[in-house]
Amino acid sequence: MDRTPVWFLRQAGRYMQEYREVRKHHTLVEICKQPDLAAEVTITAAEKLGVDAAIIFADLLLPLEPMGLDFEFQAGEGPVVHHPVRTAADVFALRTDRTGDLAYVARAIEKVASHFRHRLGIIGFCGAPYTLASYMIEGGGSRNYIHTKQMMYRDSLSWRSLLDKIVVVLTEYCRSRCRLAPRSSKSSTAGWVRSRSPTTRIMPSRRRNAWCARCSRWACR
C-alpha cells in the first residue's frame, strides 16, 4: 500500500450544503434505500473532498430490517430499535434468508462504480457482529450495554445463536456488494468490547466475519 488510508465513517454529511438539501426531503434511511440518492451523495462528497476513494453512503444497521427488526433515527436519540431482542424466542424469530432485501445498496454501488470507473476506489463498510447485536439487544445506543451483557453471560446459547445469525447475514451482504465494486471494507465494533473484551464470547464470530470480508475483497480484485 503506497498511501496510509484515513477513515471517515461517512464522507457525506451536514457540513455539505448539497447533503443538507437532500436531507430536507429525505431521512437518512430513505437516502440509503434509494440508489439514485445514495449514489448522488456518495459521488458529491468524494468529488468535493478530492479523496482517493468514495465511501458508499449506507448505515451499519441496514441489515436489521431483513432480519425482522424495524428501526428509525429519532432526533436527539440516534437509532431506535422498536422491538429489542431480549429472549431466546426473540433470537429464534430472526430471519437470515432475506439479505436480498438489501439489494438497494448494491444498486447504489453500481451507479457509483459506473460514474467513477477506474478513477477512484470504492469503500464499503458493515457493523461487526457484536455491534449489531448490541443495538438489537439494547434497542439503540448504550454506554453500559447492560442488556447485552446479561444475555452474553446468563444465556450464552441465545448469545451465540444471535451472533451466528448476524454473521450469516453479514457474509452474504458483504459478498453481494463486493462482487460489484468495493476494493476495501471495514467493520466497526461497539466501544465496550475494545477495552474489556470477553474474547471467548465475541472473537469467534468476529474472526468469522473478518474471514468472510477478506474472501469478499479477494473476489473483486
Look at strands 121-127 and 53-55 and give their pairing: parallel
Residue 14 among the catalytic residues: yes
- Asked whether the predicted pLDDT for residue 217 surpasses 50, the reply is no
- For 136-189, write each residue's pLDDT tens digit: 999 999 999 999 999 999 999 999 999 999 999 999 998 877 665 555 455 555
Of residues 114 and 11, more confidently modeled: 114
What pLDDT shows up at residue 197? 47
Element of type H or E holding 212: helix 199-219
Q: What confidence tier does 87 reach under pLDDT thresholds 50, 70, 90?
A: very high
Taking alpha carbons only, the member of 116, 128, 127, 126 closest to residue 54 is 116
pTM, full prediction = 0.81
**Is residue 102 predicted with pLDDT exceeding 50?**
yes
pLDDT at 198: 52
The residue among 95, 12, 100, 90 whose CA lies nearest residue 55 is 12
pLDDT score for 159: 96
- Determine the Cα–Cα distance for residues 71 and 80; give it in Å rounded to an integer: 5
Identify the active-site residue in 19, 90, 130, 135: 135
Is residue 23 flagged as an active site residue?
yes
Question: Average pLDDT in the 7-32 region?
Answer: 85
Q: In angstroms, rounded to a whole number, what is the distance separating the alpha carbons of residues 38 and 28?
A: 10
Q: What are the b/e assignments for 109-128, b being 16+ CB within 10 Å?
A: bebbbebbeeebbbbbbbbb
**What percent of the chain lies above the pLDDT cut of 90?**
58
For the question of residue 143 being annotated catalytic, the response is no
Active site (annotated) includes residue 59: yes
What CA–CA distances, in Å, run from 106 to 32, 42, 65, 208?
A: 11, 13, 16, 22
Q: What's residue 16's pLDDT?
A: 87
Q: Specify the pLDDT at position 174.
A: 86
Q: Does residue 104 carry a catalytic annotation? A: no
Q: How far apart are the first and last CA of the chain?
A: 15
Q: Give the integer Cα–Cα distance in Å for 69 and 10.
A: 23
Is residue 91 helix, strand or coil? Answer: helix
Residue of 2, 3, 14, 154 with catalytic role:
14
- Using DSSP bridges, classify how beta strands 71-74 and 78-81 pair: parallel, antiparallel or unpaired: antiparallel
User: In whole angstroms, what is the distance from residue 151 CA to residue 41 CA?
Assistant: 38
- Is the model's pLDDT at 75 over the cut of 80? no
